């Protein structure tokens, strides 16, 4: 008689999203405890974490979720990733509303969702809407949707996943009052499902050949974009002449704000401006940087442009073939790939990041073999490290073998 495996036990709220993603991919039940137990005002799960759990339920079928009364303990038993066929509304699109108090950017949901999408039974089509959607980068450390589209999604090409993938920004927004909510709208269409991702060998960072970017202004003067672009180009042009930054100006989103005298009243939120830059190397490696105006205001566009340009140079200087923001996506796909050894060159600062180290520990707990580390060969002035990852061959159980 077969017995079910005991749940894997984790503590704390860090890496919460990726623990749930890898639980879903491997089919293992997880028990996460001690989620902010010492917080006197807001113990347990935050609104954005609860919203992610709802999103996970929408794209899977048969998932079971138990949350303790205080919200400090979560037990998650994953189901099958069915994509938009699970609970889609009109046109096969899942509409996911984010609450007004959300202080995380929509990329907090997009990155793990894109990691699940290749292993889905059907295409994943999700429309993020509601007063809590922030499309720009945020003070909490989330990247903008522009950087997800231009610096993360193209990396899926390396694994043989490139068809019918689209990320549309239907309405832009910046963080609103106190960094919460922006009223934006974003649609993800991920229509390429695979049996197993290809084995990756990426060990040549190459030289930076071009820089592209998007400057955006939401509900403020378009001159802010010109000022950010001019300052950023002043820093980058002497280093990379092939630099082009697109300017996008849009009106501020309107969200309902009813009161006694006017029940149908609306207010503007999500005003601000920001800059997203992506550098591409001769071997297809991508490095990104994101800076947006703070919710409190008071920062000149010139400062934003200069800060973003220097942030991009700092990201490139860390070395390796992958930026810190994309490390979890790349290493996660390598782990889920065919049972072969994949290799990826990372900078020392990238692999020493707290999130990457925690990811390695979590993957080992899910049964993935440990990573092999060695010094990169050749002219390795920056001391890059080659990470060898053995794929688990989990694959896509919902996809028929051709």
Task: Name which of 325, 355, 247, 310 is nearest 18 in CA terms.
Answer: 355
Instruction: Return the residue matching tokens 């080992």.
Output: 364
Task: Name which of 202, 211, 158 is nearest 346 in CA terms.
Answer: 202
- What is the pLDDT confidence band of residue 148, given thresholds at 50, 70 and 90? very high
Q: Give the pLDDT confidence score for residue 274 in this predicted structure.
A: 93
- Residues in CB range of 87: below 8 A, 6 or more apart: 57, 58, 94
pLDDT over 60 (residue 86):
no
pLDDT over 90 (residue 214):
yes
pLDDT over 90 (residue 101):
no
**What's the rounded mean pLDDT across residues 83-104?**
76
CA 216 from centroid of its chain's CA atoms = 19
CA atoms within a 13 Å half-sphere pointing along the CA-CB vector of 200: 32
- Residues in CB range of 190: below 8 A, 6 or more apart: 113, 114, 117, 118, 120, 123, 124, 125, 164, 165
- What is the pLDDT confidence band of residue 32, given thresholds at 50, 70 and 90? very high
Q: Give the pLDDT confidence score for residue 124 in this predicted structure.
A: 92
**In 117-261, which residue ranges form alpha helices assigned H by DSSP?**
145-147, 223-236
Q: Give the pLDDT confidence score for residue 127 in this predicted structure.
A: 95
pLDDT over 50 (residue 401):
no
Q: Give the pLDDT confidence score for residue 396 in this predicted structure.
A: 61
**Cα separation, 17 vs 29, whole angstroms:** 14
Query: pLDDT averaged over the chain?
Result: 88
pLDDT in tens, 352-380: 889 999 999 999 998 888 888 888 877 66
Instruction: Return the residue matching tokens 């290493």.
Output: 331
Q: Give the pLDDT confidence score for residue 19 in this predicted structure.
A: 94
Is pTM beyond 0.85? Reply is yes
**Cα separation, 160 vs 170, whole angstroms:** 28
Q: What are the distances in angstroms from CA 3 to CA 23, 38, 272? A: 18, 36, 55
Q: Report the SS3 class of residue 39.
A: coil
CA 177 from centroid of its chain's CA atoms = 23
- What is the pLDDT confidence band of residue 267, given thresholds at 50, 70 and 90? confident
Q: Give the pLDDT confidence score for residue 395 in this predicted structure.
A: 66
**What's the rounded mean pLDDT across residues 69-95?**
80
pLDDT in tens, 323-352: 989 999 999 999 988 888 999 999 888 998
pLDDT over 70 (residue 298):
yes
Q: Which one is predicted more confidently, 331 or 5?
A: 331
DSSP assignment, residue 128? E
Q: Both tokens of residue 210?
A: 């071009």
């Amino acid at each position: 008689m077969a017995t079910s495996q005991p749940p894997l036990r984790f503590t704390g709220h860090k890496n919460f999203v990726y623990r749930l993603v890898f639980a879903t991919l491997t089919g293992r039940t997880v028990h996460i405890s001690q989620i902010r137990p010492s917080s006197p005002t807001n113990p347990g799960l935050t609104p954005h974490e609860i919203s992610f759990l709802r999103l996970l339920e929408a794209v899977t079928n048969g998932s079971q979720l138990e949350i303790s009364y205080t919200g400090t303990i979560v037990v998650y038993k994953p189901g099958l990733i069915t994509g938009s066929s699970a609970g889609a509304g009109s046109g096969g699109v899942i509409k996911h509303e984010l609450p007004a108090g959300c202080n995380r950017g929509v990329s907090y949901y997009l990155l793990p969702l894109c990691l699940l999408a290749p292993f889905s039974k059907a295409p994943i089509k999700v429309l993020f809407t509601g007063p809590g959607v922030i499309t720009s980068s945020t003070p909490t450390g989330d990247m903008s949707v522009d950087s997800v589209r231009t610096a993360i999604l193209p990396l899926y090409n390396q694994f043989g996943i490139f068809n019918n993938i689209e990320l549309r920004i239907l309405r832009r927004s910046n963080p609103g009052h106190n960094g919460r909510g922006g009223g934006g709208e974003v649609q993800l269409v991920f229509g390429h499902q695979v049996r197993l991702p290809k084995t990756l060998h990426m060990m040549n960072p190459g030289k930076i050949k071009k820089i592209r970017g998007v400057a955006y202004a939401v509900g403020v003067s378009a001159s802010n974009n010109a000022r950010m672009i001019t300052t950023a180009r002043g820093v980058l042009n002497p280093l990379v002449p092939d630099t082009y930054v697109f300017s996008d100006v849009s009106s501020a989103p309107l969200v309902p704000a009813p009161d006694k005298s006017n029940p149908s009243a609306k207010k503007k939120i999500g005003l601000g401006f920001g800059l997203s830059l992506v550098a591409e190397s001769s071997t297809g490696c991508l490095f990104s940087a994101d800076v947006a105006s703070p919710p409190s205001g008071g920062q000149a566009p010139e400062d934003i442009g200069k800060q973003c340009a220097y942030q991009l140079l700092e990201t490139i200087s860390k070395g390796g073939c992958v930026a810190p923001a994309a490390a979890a996506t790349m290493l996660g796909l390598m782990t889920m790939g065919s049972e072969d050894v994949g290799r990826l060159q990372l900078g020392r600062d990238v692999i020493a990041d707290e999130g990457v180290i925690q990811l390695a520990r979590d993957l080992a707990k899910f049964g993935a073999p440990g990573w092999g580390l060695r010094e990169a060969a050749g002219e390795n002035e920056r001391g890059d490290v080659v990470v060898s990852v053995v794929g688990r061959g989990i694959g896509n159980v919902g996809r028929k073998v051709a």
